[in-house]
Amino acid sequence: MIEVNQLTKTFRLSKEAKKQAKQNKLDPRQQGQNFQALKNVSFSCEQGQVLGLLGPNGAGKTTTLRILASALKPDSGSILINGEDLVKKPQLAKQKIGFLSTKTGLYNRLTAQENIEYFARLHGMAKSDINIQGELLYQQLGIEDYLHRRVDTLSSGMMQKVSIARAVIHQPEVLILDEPTTGLDIMATETILEFIESQKELGRPVIFSTHHLDEVSMLADKLAIIDQGQSCFTGSISALQEQTQCSDLRKAFMKVLSLKGEA
């Protein structure tokens, strides 16, 4: 289980961002030299649950996921995986979390296998474990045929599969996916969706951010909606529909955002 409690994150604005902010409408999150990206964001995801993280562009989804993956440090708040606080132990977070985004994060000049094994070694895996876990994954994802091909010769679907293998080779306890299907073709998108489904069956909590509400309705057990760095809603899809009195997920999502705006 992963529990995110009261996450807050402030960035110091760069000169360019300050200029941009002056030109555009003033964002209420901008406070002098600082920009409050997140304010008291909380949600949780049980074992075998898929949580869809929703929000408009610039809402703070990527910042949230980067904090979960320990790429960024929060100003305050906690992230607990089965009771262990990852904010205090970022190295532990990196062991327990698998991260995937649209950018495959693969090295083009290495082969598919070299990429996967490189990340496995960086996670401290022994050669024998890499071989055993690798064999299983390659078979499961059906990537054996192009394991020895350089990544820059692979199709986007193939790359996504390799990227999945790269993200889970170290057998993480939680999976985090940042807009994993954005810009992908139907085949590659299908690969990702099937993968999320399989992880759910394995009992791994999966947190994924997306703009595609059809994917959310198909996969998510739970939603966390954030806007302007703050939580708007946390709960199941049916709870959202009930709260907004809208059966259409898109309308329900829009209503939550407008209610937050009014508040």
- Closer CB to other proteins, 115 or 210, in the complex: 115
Rounded to a whole number of angstroms, the minimum distance from the CB of residue 120 to other proteins is: 10
- Closer CB to other proteins, 82 or 108, in the complex: 108
Rounded to a whole number of angstroms, the minimum distance from the CB of residue 118 to other proteins is: 5
Q: From the CB of residue 103, how many other CB atoms can be counted at a distance below 10 Å? A: 11
- Closer CB to other proteins, 34 or 258, in the complex: 34
Catalog residues that contact other proteins under the rule CB under 8 A: 11-12, 14, 66, 69-73, 91, 94-95, 97, 99, 101, 103-110, 114, 118-119, 121-124, 150, 166
Rounded to a whole number of angstroms, the minimum distance from the CB of residue 48 to other proteins is: 23
The dihedral region occupied by 139, where left means phi > 0, alpha psi between -120 and 50, and beta the remainder, is: alpha
> What does each C-alpha distance from 213 to 6, 56, 77, 97, 217 come to in angstroms?
25, 12, 28, 25, 6
Rounded to a whole number of angstroms, the minimum distance from the CB of residue 257 to other proteins is: 26
Cβ 80 vs Cβ 160: under 8 Å: no
- Closer CB to other proteins, 120 or 216, in the complex: 120
Rounded to a whole number of angstroms, the minimum distance from the CB of residue 86 to other proteins is: 12
> Tokens for 33?
């030299």
Q: From the CB of residue 45, how many other CB atoms can be counted at a distance below 10 Å? A: 22
Q: Which residues contact 249 (CB under 8 A, 6 or more apart)?
A: 213, 216, 217, 237, 240, 241
- Closer CB to other proteins, 103 or 251, in the complex: 103
Nearest to 61, CA basis, from 165, 196, 216, 190: 216
